[in-house]
Amino acid sequence: MTHKFGICLYMPDMPQNLGVIIRTAACLEFPLHIIKPLSFSMTDKRFKGAVMDYIDQCKIVNHDNWNNFEKYCESNNKRIVLATTKTNNSFYNYSFSNSDIILFGKETAGVPQEIHKKVIEKITIPINQKTRSLNLATSVSIIASQIISNL
């Protein structure tokens, strides 16, 4: 079953994470949005090793920049929900809808402050206070699975 919610990666900068997330999107059947530019080539051996042959089974929607992604969401009635460590709003208690696109920031820097301020809806994965964050690919898998189980 193809799901209507989506995941969006803001300028991902670790090729192996993108490869794993594409595999996850292919297996769980949700579209993956990517806001460019990438800081690596899709011919990178780390990317190719992680993605294997799943790239052809994943619906990828590329956006040249934030403004193009934002316009896409507006014209397609998509709600942007930012996954961030800078909120206390647990994703376990969030009411997701099929029109949501969950936005994940770059592994090394998150999203710029102006995007953080602009996106109203924010969620986090509650974790142990002694740790900083989960891996991006792990976070995408956890949240996508939660959405699928609740829709």
End-to-end CA distance of the chain: 12
Flag whether 1 is in a domain.
no
Average pLDDT over residues 100-120: 96
Q: How many CA atoms lie within 13 A of 148 on its CB side?
A: 18
Report d(CA 36, CA 47) in Å as an integer: 16
| pLDDT one-digit tens code per residue, 39-78 | 877 777 877 777 778 889 999 999 999 999 999 999 999 9
Flag whether 77 is in a domain.
yes
For residues 97, 119, 122 and 93, what is the CA-based torsion angle, rounded to 10 degrees? -30
Q: In the chain, where do the E strands start and end?
A: 6-10, 32-35, 60-63, 79-83, 100-104, 121-123
For the full predicted model, state whether its pTM sits above 0.85: yes
Domain extent at residue 116: 6-150
CATH number for the domain harbouring residue 37: 3.40.1280.10
Report d(CA 5, CA 146) in Å as an integer: 12
Flag whether 88 is in a domain.
yes
Flag whether 117 is in a domain.
yes
Q: How many domains does the chain have?
A: 1
